[in-house]
Amino acid sequence: MVRHSERPEDLDVPTTIMAELTEHGHDVAVEFGRRLPRNWSITIFHSPHVRATQTAERISDGLLEVGGNLNRIERLNVLLGGRGSIEKIVSMAHDVGFDEFYHRWKQHQLPKDTLEPINDYLDRLTPQVIGRLTQADKNDLHLHVTHDIVIAASRGWLFDNITEEGLYVPFLGGYGIARTKDTFFGFKGGQEVDVVGELFV
């Protein structure tokens, strides 16, 4: 699960909503693709937003450039985030800061016409991400290109220690989950982390 590549920073609300990748963002997404494992079958799922779509396309360009095995690229609407008003979401996040906005969402303090409750969103996200992983072959890699709020929400739900580590997600940053025959395990920053096991019973 990775955030899209670089977009311009410090923009007003309307420009933030519509912002595409920077030239550097395109370049580093291609490099990201070049570094993916060539011997795995890779499916890239992406948010319908233009910068996530661009990121997925550039990652696939880099992967194919080095002879990687691209299964397909697929738009996945749930990766855009919770149902609500994008204008209200971005405006409030700008006004109060990303961390405060996320904590209000997690504590069910946002109006429903701004953003659907976080548990409702995670109930929709789970079968489309974790559910697919449970059906994957051992050499499949599912890459989900999404947004910082989706990574913060799903990471906080999967891992116990998210609030201690902070919510910031850099461009092309994120986390991973792997499945063995009997269990799941997570990894962030090259370190294995515990997944909340009862979520997968």
Q: In degrees, to the nearest 5, what angle opens at C-alpha 177 toward C-alphas 143 and 133?
A: 65
pLDDT in tens, 78-103: 999 999 999 999 999 999 999 999 99
What CATH number does residue 54 fall under?
Answer: 3.40.50.1240
Considering the entire predicted model, what is its pTM?
A: 0.92
- Give the amino acid at 82: G
Confidence of residue 200 (pLDDT cuts 50, 70, 90): very low
- Give the amino acid at 60: S
Number of domains in the chain: 1
Q: How distant, in Å, are the alpha carbons of 116, 136, 143, 184, 201 from that of 3?
A: 21, 22, 10, 22, 28
Averaged pLDDT, 114-143: 91
Domain encompassing residue 187: 2-200
Helix axes 98-106, 86-96, angle to 10 degrees: 120
pLDDT in tens, 133-189: 888 888 999 999 999 999 999 988 887 655 545 688 899 999 998 887 777 778 877
